[in-house]
Structures are given as C-alpha cells and as structure tokens.
Chain A
Amino acid sequence: MSAVVCAEPLDLPGLIAYWLDDLAPDEEERIEEHLLGCPVCSARMGDVVALGAGVRALADRGVVRAVVPSAFLQRLIDEGLRVREYRLAPGDRVECTITPSDDLVASRLTVDLRGARRVDLVKCDAEGREKDRLTDIPVSAAAREVVLLERVDRIRALPACVQRVRLVAPVAGSERLLGEYTFSHTPWAPGPPPAVH
C-alpha cells in the first residue's frame, strides 16, 4: 500500500490553536472536518496531544524544572498536589529538605524586578562559584516574586550542601544583582519508628 499523503496539511500552529480552543468557530469546523477525514493530519494532531499529556504528567510528577507564575503554583496546590514551598527574601537563608510525601518543591524568591529588562537565575555553590544559569527566565515585570519549580528527583539525589541562588539583570556587559538566596539542603532522614505497644 502506498504511503498516505495529505494534499493540504494543517499547520502546527493551527493544530495547537484548535486543541486549545483558540480558533473562530468557522475555522474550528474546517479543521475538525479535515482531521476526521485525514489520517496524516489526525496522526500529527495525536502526536501533539500525546506530547501535551506527557508534559502535564511530567509536571505533576515534579520532574520538570520551570519558572512559573504564582497563580500556576496555586492551581497545582488547588488540584491537590503536595507542594513544599520555601519563601525567601533577598539575603535570606533557609534550611531545606524534601520528604517522601512531597510531590513538588517550589522556591519562592521575593524580588523587585523594576527596571530589569531580562532576568537570569544563577545557581552557585557555597563559595559563590556559578554552577548553572537559567537564562532569560519568563517573569512579568509586575511580579513580586520568582517561582521556580525544581525537579524533585534531582533534589532527592542531593547530598547535604549549600546552594546560593542569585537573580541578576544583565546590563551592558555586566549584571545587576537583584537578590541572593541561600539554601542549606539536608537529605530527608526519617525519624525513629513509632514505639510498638
């Protein structure tokens, strides 16, 4: 059997917009009729849907590191996910860990973003040496905090350590420090089992 082809394939932006209910009704109808009659485009749509479901499942399992708005974090909590949150102001230090019952870990870093055209989140070791950089993180200029969802699998694997997180605004070959936050991590150690009577 020869390979099935589509003479007028639907483009990816159109498929995504259709999936997200982001189209005018007549355009939605055109796409639906095409999808019901076209194995090529429906398979492509199926791939996008599967990817979307995969992204959601990974986010729920806490294995996606992402900067998210505060409102999104609240939606996760409202959906019943157990989120361990650490709220820090610039200069703060926190003792932190992750327990087996935590679904997600979120760092909530209070910051004043006024005047910052771009913000990077820089992870440093205890001595302040840069180890990792999240470049041009997506934060609204009006936001009062940066919320970082960490990967729980990575946090669970960490030994006891100190990590400094800096929010910086790159400016003309240099960078302006917006805030530094220190995390003193200790691996989870369960307490002694309850006494048996």
Chain B
Amino acid sequence: MDAALLGDGDLARRVVAAASAGAPDAEAELYRRLAPRVRLYGLRHLRDEQAAADLTQQVLLMTIERLRDGKLREPERLASFVLGMCRMVVLDLRRGTRRRARALEQFAEDVPRADVADPPRLDTERLTACLANLAERERSVLVLTFHSERSAAEVAQELGLTAENVRVIRHRALVRLRACMSGEEPAP
C-alpha cells in the first residue's frame, strides 16, 4: 500500500518491521507529516524559528532511528513517543548541548529526506485590511497578545480588564480574523 495512504501508526509499524533494511517510503512520509507538527512544538517552547528547525531535524532523526531499532513497542502511541523525544531535545537545546546533534550527523545521511511543506504564508495586505476591520478592543488585544506573547492575565492587567474578558475578546477577534482571511467574511 502507498505510504501516503497509511495512518501514522501503520507507517511507524512499517519502519519497525523493516528494521535496519530500511523502509524509505514510510520514513520519508513520516518525516513529511511530523515535521510541521514538531516545528510547532519547537516554536512554542523555544520561540525561535531556527531553534525550532534544529529541534525538528533532531527529533525526527532520533524517532526514525529508534523505530528502526524496534524501540517503539506500541506504534499506535507514536505521538506520545515523539512528544518524549521533543522534550528531551528541548532540554538539550536549552543546555546548548550539541553532542546529540553531532552523533546524529552520520545517521542523518542515511535517512531519506522528504519534501516538507513550508509554513503557511500570509497575504499581508489582506491581513492589514482584516485587522483594520476589527473593533478597537479586538485589535488592541490581538496586538498586545501576539506582539509580546502575553497571557490573558497580563493583557488584562495592562488594559484594566478581567482576564476572562480578554479571553472572550481574543477569541472573538481571532474567529473574525480567520474568517476574513479565509474569505468567509469580506475584507473591508
């Protein structure tokens, strides 16, 4: 069966079954699927695009290496396994440890590369127009929230609102912004 039609767990099983013989199609498909998800984890914890890219590379190489070695006993729990890898590599990156990266360099040449989709690109002109179309409070809350990545409580303190009020405004603003960006709501 084409690797693209398999679920994540079945892909992992295929890599485990092939062991050291390798299953290039399944490995490449796993890499392609997991890369954007691991990148988000990296951005969330490291708040840096380059560091997130380093994390993605290391986590996926380690994951495939361990699948080949048969270290994942329950392939249907692949997400939990990858989460464990993510945590370990984040700790390494925070310590500035390059040891693991160096050890993986040789192995990396042996793993088939997949075309990983670029992160979504925004139409900035449309985003400018959609932002301008929000209510004043909605726009201010979004700017304060995302510019410095502030929690509802922090934004609330600066604006003299309650955290719950900020959450409501933030949610409404994002729903409207996404609708406007997707064309469900016309841009002004």
Contact = CB atoms under 8 A, between A and B. Distances in A.
B174 A138 contact: no
B141 to A, nearest CB: 7
* B interface residue count range (under 10 / 10 to 19 / 20 to 34 / 35 or more): 35 or more
B80 to A, nearest CB: 6
B79 A50 contact: no
Given A36-B86, A49-B40, A72-B147, A58 B159 contact: no
Contacts, number: 152
A33 B79 contact: yes
Interface in A38-67: 38-39, 42-43, 45-60, 63-67
Given A36-B79, A68-B144, A138-B159, A18 B136 contact: no
Given A13-B167, A32-B83, A137-B136, A37 B174 contact: no
A64 B158 contact: no
Contact of A37 (B79, B120, B124): B79
Contacts of A135: 135-136
Interface in B37-78: 37-38, 40-41, 43-44, 78
Interface in B114-129: 119-122, 124, 127-128
Interface in A92-130: none
Contact of B147 (A33, A47, A48, A59): A59
Contacts of B33: 39
15 contacts: A1-B4, A1-B5, A20-B145, A22-B152, A35-B37, A38-B79, A42-B36, A46-B119, A46-B120, A49-B40, A50-B120, A51-B146, A57-B124, A58-B128, A68-B143
Interface of B: 4-5, 8, 33-34, 36-38, 40-41, 43-44, 78-80, 82-83, 86, 119-122, 124, 127-128, 131-132, 135-137, 139-153, 158-161, 167, 170-171, 174-175, 177-178, 181
A-B CB proximity, top 6 nearest: A140-B160, A37-B79, A52-B146, A69-B158, A36-B79, A42-B37
Interface of A: 1, 12-13, 16-22, 29, 32-39, 42-43, 45-60, 63-69, 71-72, 75, 134-143
